[in-house]
Protein backbone atom coordinates (compact mmCIF):
# COMPACT_ATOMS: atom_id res chain seq x y z
CA UNK A 1 0.00 0.00 0.00
CA UNK A 2 1.38 3.41 -0.99
CA UNK A 3 1.04 6.29 1.42
CA UNK A 4 2.27 9.88 1.64
CA UNK A 5 4.67 10.56 4.48
CA UNK A 6 3.13 13.97 5.26
CA UNK A 7 -0.21 12.14 5.64
CA UNK A 8 -1.88 14.35 2.97
CA UNK A 9 -3.78 12.16 0.58
CA UNK A 10 -2.70 14.02 -2.54
CA UNK A 11 -3.43 10.87 -4.55
CA UNK A 12 -7.10 11.80 -4.28
CA UNK A 13 -6.37 15.19 -5.80
CA UNK A 14 -4.22 13.59 -8.47
CA UNK A 15 -7.14 11.35 -9.37
CA UNK A 16 -9.32 14.46 -9.50
CA UNK A 17 -6.75 16.06 -11.80
CA UNK A 18 -6.91 13.13 -14.21
CA UNK A 19 -10.71 13.06 -14.02
CA UNK A 20 -11.03 16.78 -14.76
CA UNK A 21 -8.58 16.53 -17.65
CA UNK A 22 -10.61 13.75 -19.24
CA UNK A 23 -13.85 15.56 -18.61
CA UNK A 24 -12.52 18.76 -20.18
CA UNK A 25 -11.23 16.81 -23.17
CA UNK A 26 -14.62 15.17 -23.65
CA UNK A 27 -16.35 18.53 -23.30
CA UNK A 28 -14.16 20.09 -26.01
CA UNK A 29 -15.19 17.30 -28.37
CA UNK A 30 -18.86 17.60 -27.42
CA UNK A 31 -21.61 19.44 -29.25
CA UNK A 32 -21.68 22.17 -26.59
CA UNK A 33 -18.21 23.27 -27.60
CA UNK A 34 -19.24 23.53 -31.26
CA UNK A 35 -22.64 25.07 -30.60
CA UNK A 36 -23.50 28.71 -30.46
CA UNK A 37 -24.61 28.48 -26.83
CA UNK A 38 -21.68 30.53 -25.66
CA UNK A 39 -23.02 31.03 -22.11
CA UNK A 40 -23.29 27.32 -21.50
CA UNK A 41 -19.84 26.75 -22.92
CA UNK A 42 -18.20 29.56 -20.94
CA UNK A 43 -19.85 28.54 -17.66
CA UNK A 44 -18.86 24.90 -17.94
CA UNK A 45 -15.43 25.70 -19.29
CA UNK A 46 -14.61 28.10 -16.45
CA UNK A 47 -15.83 25.62 -13.84
CA UNK A 48 -13.81 22.73 -15.24
CA UNK A 49 -10.79 24.93 -15.89
CA UNK A 50 -10.76 26.17 -12.28
CA UNK A 51 -11.00 22.63 -10.93
CA UNK A 52 -8.27 21.49 -13.30
CA UNK A 53 -5.93 24.30 -12.28
CA UNK A 54 -6.60 23.72 -8.57
CA UNK A 55 -5.98 19.97 -8.83
CA UNK A 56 -2.82 20.41 -10.88
CA UNK A 57 -1.49 23.11 -8.56
CA UNK A 58 -2.12 20.99 -5.47
CA UNK A 59 -0.40 17.95 -6.94
CA UNK A 60 2.56 20.01 -8.15
CA UNK A 61 2.83 21.83 -4.83
CA UNK A 62 2.73 18.63 -2.80
CA UNK A 63 5.41 17.02 -4.94
CA UNK A 64 7.60 20.14 -4.69
CA UNK A 65 7.31 20.16 -0.90
CA UNK A 66 8.10 16.46 -0.73
CA UNK A 67 11.13 16.91 -2.99
CA UNK A 68 12.33 19.89 -0.97
CA UNK A 69 12.08 17.97 2.31
CA UNK A 70 13.55 14.83 0.83
CA UNK A 71 10.32 12.88 1.28
CA UNK A 72 9.00 10.21 -1.02
CA UNK A 73 5.95 8.06 -1.30
CA UNK A 74 6.69 5.06 0.89
CA UNK A 75 5.60 1.45 0.96
CA UNK A 76 3.79 0.48 4.16
CA UNK A 77 3.64 -3.25 4.84
CA UNK A 78 1.35 -4.71 7.50
CA UNK A 79 1.82 -8.33 8.53
CA UNK A 80 1.29 -10.69 11.46
CA UNK A 81 4.26 -12.89 10.58
CA UNK A 82 7.71 -11.70 9.56
CA UNK A 83 9.56 -13.35 6.71
CA UNK A 84 13.24 -14.20 7.13
CA UNK A 85 14.19 -11.20 4.99
CA UNK A 86 11.97 -8.84 6.97
CA UNK A 87 13.44 -10.08 10.26
CA UNK A 88 16.95 -9.49 8.86
CA UNK A 89 15.98 -5.97 7.80
CA UNK A 90 14.62 -5.21 11.27
CA UNK A 91 17.77 -6.53 12.95
CA UNK A 92 19.89 -4.37 10.64
CA UNK A 93 17.81 -1.30 11.53
CA UNK A 94 18.09 -2.09 15.25
CA UNK A 95 21.86 -2.39 14.86
CA UNK A 96 21.93 1.07 13.25
CA UNK A 97 19.95 2.46 16.19
CA UNK A 98 22.24 0.64 18.64
CA UNK A 99 25.24 2.49 17.21
CA UNK A 100 23.76 5.86 18.18
CA UNK A 101 22.42 4.80 21.59
CA UNK A 102 22.12 1.50 23.49
CA UNK A 103 18.72 -0.19 23.11
CA UNK A 104 17.17 -1.60 26.28
CA UNK A 105 13.77 -2.49 24.82
CA UNK A 106 13.05 -5.86 23.26
CA UNK A 107 11.35 -5.81 19.85
CA UNK A 108 8.43 -8.30 19.68
CA UNK A 109 9.46 -10.61 16.83
CA UNK A 110 6.95 -13.33 17.76
CA UNK A 111 4.28 -14.36 15.25
CA UNK A 112 0.80 -13.14 16.09
CA UNK A 113 1.85 -9.58 16.82
CA UNK A 114 1.10 -6.88 14.24
CA UNK A 115 4.11 -5.49 12.40
CA UNK A 116 4.25 -2.27 10.39
CA UNK A 117 7.26 -1.86 8.10
CA UNK A 118 7.86 1.38 6.23
CA UNK A 119 10.16 1.01 3.20
CA UNK A 120 11.34 3.57 0.68
CA UNK A 121 11.30 3.04 -3.07
CA UNK A 122 14.69 1.30 -2.93
CA UNK A 123 13.20 -1.21 -0.44
CA UNK A 124 15.32 0.17 2.41
CA UNK A 125 13.59 -0.22 5.76
CA UNK A 126 13.09 3.31 7.13
CA UNK A 127 10.96 2.65 10.23
CA UNK A 128 9.28 -0.22 12.04
CA UNK A 129 6.57 -0.68 14.64
CA UNK A 130 5.65 -3.83 16.53
CA UNK A 131 2.15 -3.89 18.01
CA UNK A 132 1.26 -6.30 20.84
CA UNK A 133 -2.51 -6.52 20.51
CA UNK A 134 -4.81 -7.37 23.45
CA UNK A 135 -6.38 -10.84 23.41
CA UNK A 136 -9.68 -11.22 21.58
CA UNK A 137 -12.60 -10.27 23.79
CA UNK A 138 -10.58 -7.99 26.07
CA UNK A 139 -12.07 -4.69 27.22
CA UNK A 140 -11.32 -1.37 25.57
CA UNK A 141 -9.31 -0.43 28.66
CA UNK A 142 -6.62 -2.94 27.69
CA UNK A 143 -3.99 -0.94 25.75
CA UNK A 144 -2.13 -1.88 22.59
CA UNK A 145 1.59 -1.94 23.29
CA UNK A 146 3.71 -0.43 20.50
CA UNK A 147 7.48 -0.51 20.08
CA UNK A 148 8.85 1.62 17.24
CA UNK A 149 12.25 2.44 15.78
CA UNK A 150 13.29 4.79 12.97
CA UNK A 151 16.58 4.60 11.10
CA UNK A 152 18.77 7.33 12.67
CA UNK A 153 19.63 8.94 9.31
CA UNK A 154 15.92 9.27 8.47
CA UNK A 155 14.54 10.70 11.70
CA UNK A 156 12.46 13.89 11.93
CA UNK A 157 10.90 13.27 8.52
CA UNK A 158 7.46 12.16 9.62
CA UNK A 159 7.98 8.41 9.34
CA UNK A 160 6.90 7.72 12.91
CA UNK A 161 3.81 9.87 12.37
CA UNK A 162 2.85 7.70 9.40
CA UNK A 163 3.22 4.53 11.47
CA UNK A 164 1.28 6.05 14.37
CA UNK A 165 -1.58 7.03 12.08
CA UNK A 166 -1.85 3.44 10.85
CA UNK A 167 -1.49 2.08 14.41
CA UNK A 168 -4.43 4.23 15.53
CA UNK A 169 -6.57 2.74 12.75
CA UNK A 170 -5.62 -0.78 13.84
CA UNK A 171 -6.02 -0.22 17.60
CA UNK A 172 -9.52 1.23 17.28
CA UNK A 173 -10.89 2.12 20.72
CA UNK A 174 -7.81 0.84 22.56
CA UNK A 175 -5.20 3.28 23.89
CA UNK A 176 -1.61 2.88 22.70
CA UNK A 177 1.14 2.26 25.24
CA UNK A 178 4.76 3.08 24.35
CA UNK A 179 7.70 1.73 26.41
CA UNK A 180 10.42 4.37 26.23
CA UNK A 181 14.03 4.60 27.31
CA UNK A 182 14.11 7.94 29.20
CA UNK A 183 17.74 8.45 28.16
CA UNK A 184 16.71 8.69 24.49
CA UNK A 185 16.28 12.40 23.78
CA UNK A 186 14.72 11.76 20.35
CA UNK A 187 12.11 9.40 21.78
CA UNK A 188 11.28 11.75 24.65
CA UNK A 189 10.82 14.60 22.17
CA UNK A 190 8.53 12.41 20.06
CA UNK A 191 6.35 11.51 23.05
CA UNK A 192 6.09 15.20 23.92
CA UNK A 193 5.21 16.11 20.34
CA UNK A 194 2.30 13.65 20.20
CA UNK A 195 1.14 14.71 23.70
CA UNK A 196 1.49 11.22 25.18
CA UNK A 197 1.19 10.98 28.98
CA UNK A 198 3.69 9.10 31.13
CA UNK A 199 1.71 6.55 33.12
CA UNK A 200 4.34 4.25 34.61
CA UNK A 201 8.04 3.72 35.12
CA UNK A 202 9.92 0.46 35.44
CA UNK A 203 13.36 -0.28 36.87
CA UNK A 204 15.91 -2.89 35.99
CA UNK A 205 17.80 -3.95 39.11
CA UNK A 206 20.93 -6.07 39.29
CA UNK A 207 23.12 -7.80 41.82
CA UNK A 208 26.59 -9.30 41.17
CA UNK A 209 28.07 -11.49 43.89
CA UNK A 210 30.52 -14.25 44.73
CA UNK A 211 28.59 -17.50 45.30
CA UNK A 212 31.32 -18.78 47.62
CA UNK A 213 31.15 -15.77 49.93
CA UNK A 214 27.59 -14.50 49.89
CA UNK A 215 24.29 -15.70 51.23
CA UNK A 216 21.07 -13.81 51.70
CA UNK A 217 19.47 -13.85 55.15
CA UNK A 218 16.23 -12.38 56.40
CA UNK A 219 14.47 -12.62 59.76
CA UNK A 220 11.30 -13.38 57.81
CA UNK A 221 12.68 -16.79 56.83
CA UNK A 222 12.27 -17.93 60.45
CA UNK A 223 9.25 -15.77 61.21
CA UNK A 224 7.30 -16.97 58.15
CA UNK A 225 8.61 -20.50 57.47
CA UNK A 226 7.98 -21.65 53.92
CA UNK A 227 8.53 -24.80 51.91
CA UNK A 228 9.01 -24.61 48.18
CA UNK A 229 9.20 -26.77 45.11
CA UNK A 230 11.31 -25.93 42.08
CA UNK A 231 10.85 -27.51 38.67
CA UNK A 232 13.33 -26.97 35.86
CA UNK A 233 12.92 -27.35 32.11
CA UNK A 234 14.74 -26.30 28.93
CA UNK A 235 13.65 -22.92 27.64
CA UNK A 236 11.83 -24.33 24.62
CA UNK A 237 9.59 -26.48 26.84
CA UNK A 238 8.22 -23.55 28.86
CA UNK A 239 5.48 -21.36 27.44
CA UNK A 240 6.47 -18.16 29.27
CA UNK A 241 10.18 -17.48 29.56
CA UNK A 242 9.80 -13.70 29.91
CA UNK A 243 7.74 -11.59 32.24
CA UNK A 244 4.49 -10.83 30.37
CA UNK A 245 4.29 -7.52 32.25
CA UNK A 246 7.68 -6.29 31.08
CA UNK A 247 9.19 -5.09 27.81
CA UNK A 248 12.74 -5.60 29.01
CA UNK A 249 14.89 -8.01 27.07
CA UNK A 250 15.44 -11.05 29.32
CA UNK A 251 18.70 -12.09 27.62
CA UNK A 252 17.01 -13.85 24.74
CA UNK A 253 14.57 -13.92 21.88
CA UNK A 254 11.48 -15.92 22.77
CA UNK A 255 11.04 -17.24 19.23
CA UNK A 256 14.55 -18.74 19.24
CA UNK A 257 14.89 -20.75 22.49
CA UNK A 258 18.40 -21.59 23.66
CA UNK A 259 18.76 -25.28 24.62
CA UNK A 260 21.50 -24.34 27.11
CA UNK A 261 19.06 -22.13 29.04
CA UNK A 262 17.05 -23.49 31.97
CA UNK A 263 13.73 -22.11 33.22
CA UNK A 264 13.09 -22.57 36.95
CA UNK A 265 9.55 -22.40 38.34
CA UNK A 266 9.14 -21.90 42.10
CA UNK A 267 6.02 -22.47 44.22
CA UNK A 268 5.90 -21.66 47.94
CA UNK A 269 3.65 -23.04 50.68
CA UNK A 270 3.24 -21.87 54.25
CA UNK A 271 4.22 -24.16 57.13
CA UNK A 272 1.74 -25.60 57.95
CA UNK A 273 0.02 -25.15 54.54
CA UNK A 274 -2.96 -22.82 54.41
CA UNK A 275 -5.54 -24.11 51.88
CA UNK A 276 -6.99 -20.59 51.57
CA UNK A 277 -3.81 -19.26 49.96
CA UNK A 278 -2.04 -22.06 48.17
CA UNK A 279 0.45 -21.47 46.75
CA UNK A 280 1.42 -18.54 48.93
CA UNK A 281 3.83 -17.21 46.29
CA UNK A 282 5.17 -18.13 42.84
CA UNK A 283 8.06 -16.90 40.70
CA UNK A 284 10.32 -17.92 37.82
CA UNK A 285 13.98 -17.54 36.91
CA UNK A 286 15.83 -17.94 33.64
CA UNK A 287 19.36 -19.33 34.02
CA UNK A 288 21.84 -18.77 31.22
CA UNK A 289 25.40 -20.16 31.24
CA UNK A 290 28.22 -17.61 31.38
CA UNK A 291 30.47 -18.07 28.33
CA UNK A 292 34.00 -19.36 29.06
CA UNK A 293 33.21 -19.75 32.79
CA UNK A 294 32.01 -23.35 33.27
CA UNK A 295 29.55 -23.98 36.08
CA UNK A 296 28.45 -20.34 36.47
CA UNK A 297 25.20 -18.72 35.37
CA UNK A 298 23.39 -15.42 35.08
CA UNK A 299 19.72 -15.40 36.04
CA UNK A 300 16.72 -13.25 35.15
CA UNK A 301 14.17 -13.29 38.00
CA UNK A 302 10.57 -12.57 37.00
CA UNK A 303 6.89 -13.42 37.44
CA UNK A 304 6.99 -12.90 41.23
CA UNK A 305 3.46 -13.09 42.65
CA UNK A 306 2.28 -13.26 46.27
CA UNK A 307 -1.25 -14.50 46.99
CA UNK A 308 -3.63 -11.67 47.88
CA UNK A 309 -4.35 -13.17 51.33
CA UNK A 310 -0.63 -13.46 52.08
CA UNK A 311 0.44 -9.91 51.33
CA UNK A 312 1.81 -7.70 54.07
CA UNK A 313 2.86 -10.71 56.17
CA UNK A 314 6.52 -10.93 55.17
CA UNK A 315 5.96 -13.95 52.92
CA UNK A 316 7.27 -12.12 49.86
CA UNK A 317 10.55 -11.26 51.58
CA UNK A 318 10.96 -14.82 52.91
CA UNK A 319 10.24 -16.38 49.50
CA UNK A 320 12.63 -14.01 47.71
CA UNK A 321 15.41 -14.83 50.16
CA UNK A 322 14.91 -18.58 49.59
CA UNK A 323 15.01 -18.13 45.81
CA UNK A 324 18.21 -16.10 45.93
CA UNK A 325 19.97 -18.69 48.07
CA UNK A 326 18.78 -21.46 45.75
CA UNK A 327 20.13 -19.58 42.71
CA UNK A 328 23.46 -19.01 44.47
CA UNK A 329 23.68 -22.73 45.22
CA UNK A 330 23.13 -23.43 41.51
CA UNK A 331 26.12 -21.27 40.55
CA UNK A 332 24.48 -17.93 39.69
CA UNK A 333 26.85 -14.96 39.88
CA UNK A 334 24.44 -12.30 38.62
CA UNK A 335 20.71 -11.82 39.05
CA UNK A 336 18.67 -9.28 37.10
CA UNK A 337 15.04 -8.37 37.77
CA UNK A 338 12.51 -5.76 36.71
CA UNK A 339 9.99 -3.95 38.87
CA UNK A 340 7.47 -1.13 38.51
CA UNK A 341 8.50 2.10 40.22
CA UNK A 342 5.22 2.22 42.16
CA UNK A 343 5.56 -1.34 43.50
CA UNK A 344 6.95 -0.10 46.81
CA UNK A 345 6.78 -3.41 48.74
CA UNK A 346 8.80 -5.23 46.05
CA UNK A 347 11.28 -2.35 45.73
CA UNK A 348 11.84 -2.44 49.47
CA UNK A 349 12.52 -6.20 49.39
CA UNK A 350 14.95 -5.93 46.49
CA UNK A 351 16.86 -2.99 47.95
CA UNK A 352 17.19 -4.76 51.31
CA UNK A 353 18.77 -7.68 49.49
CA UNK A 354 21.36 -5.36 47.94
CA UNK A 355 19.98 -4.94 44.43
CA UNK A 356 20.63 -1.61 42.74
CA UNK A 357 18.81 0.18 39.93
CA UNK A 358 20.82 -0.01 36.71
CA UNK A 359 18.31 1.11 34.05
CA UNK A 360 14.92 2.80 33.81
CA UNK A 361 12.05 2.31 31.37
CA UNK A 362 9.10 4.71 31.06
CA UNK A 363 5.63 3.96 29.71
CA UNK A 364 3.66 6.60 27.79
CA UNK A 365 -0.04 6.36 26.95
CA UNK A 366 -1.37 7.85 23.71
The verdict on 361 and 216 lying in the same domain is yes
pLDDT confidence band for 74 (50 / 70 / 90): confident
Q: What is the mean pLDDT of residues 218-233?
A: 80
> What pLDDT, on a 0 to 100 scale, did the predictor assign at position 3?
43
Residue 76's Cβ-count burial label (10 Å; 0-12, 13-18, 19+) is: middle
The verdict on 186 and 210 lying in the same domain is no
The verdict on 244 and 304 lying in the same domain is yes
Residue 153 per-residue DSSP state: G
Alpha carbon distance 194, 87 (integer Å): 28
The verdict on 101 and 181 lying in the same domain is yes
Alpha carbon distance 86, 84 (integer Å): 6
pLDDT of 163 > 90? The answer is yes
CATH number of the domain to which 260 belongs: 3.40.630.30
Predicted TM-score (pTM) of this structure: 0.63
Last residue of one domain, picked from the residues 41, 69, 97:
69
Percent pLDDT > 70 in the chain is: 72
The verdict on 211 and 334 lying in the same domain is yes
Residue range(s) defining the domain that contains residue 106: 74-195
> What pLDDT, on a 0 to 100 scale, did the predictor assign at position 270?
85
pLDDT of 60 > 80? The answer is no
The verdict on 78 and 177 lying in the same domain is yes
Phi, psi of 359 (to 5 degrees): -150, 160
The strand pair at 297-306 and 332-340 is best described as: parallel
Candidates 115, 128, 45; CA nearest to 255 is 115
pLDDT tens track for 283-342? 999 999 988 888 889 999 999 998 888 888 888 888 998 999 899 889 899 999 999 998
pLDDT confidence band for 100 (50 / 70 / 90): confident
Contact 157, 133 (CB under 8 A): no
> What pLDDT, on a 0 to 100 scale, did the predictor assign at position 32?
53
The strand pair at 176-180 and 144-150 is best described as: parallel
Q: How many domains does the chain have?
A: 3
pLDDT tens track for 244-291? 444 444 544 444 567 788 899 999 988 777 778 788 899 999 999 988
Amino acid sequence: MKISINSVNFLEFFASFLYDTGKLFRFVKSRHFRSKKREVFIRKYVYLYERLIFSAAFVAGTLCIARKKGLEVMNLIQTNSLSARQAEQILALLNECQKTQPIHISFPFEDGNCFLLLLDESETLAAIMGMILPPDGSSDEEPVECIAFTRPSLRRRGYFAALLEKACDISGEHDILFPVDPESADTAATMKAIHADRVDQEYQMKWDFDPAAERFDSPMVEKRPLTFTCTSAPEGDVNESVDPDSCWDCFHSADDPDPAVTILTYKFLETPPDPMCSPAAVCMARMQPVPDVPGTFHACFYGFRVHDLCRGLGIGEAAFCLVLNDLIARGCTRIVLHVSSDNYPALSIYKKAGFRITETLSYFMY
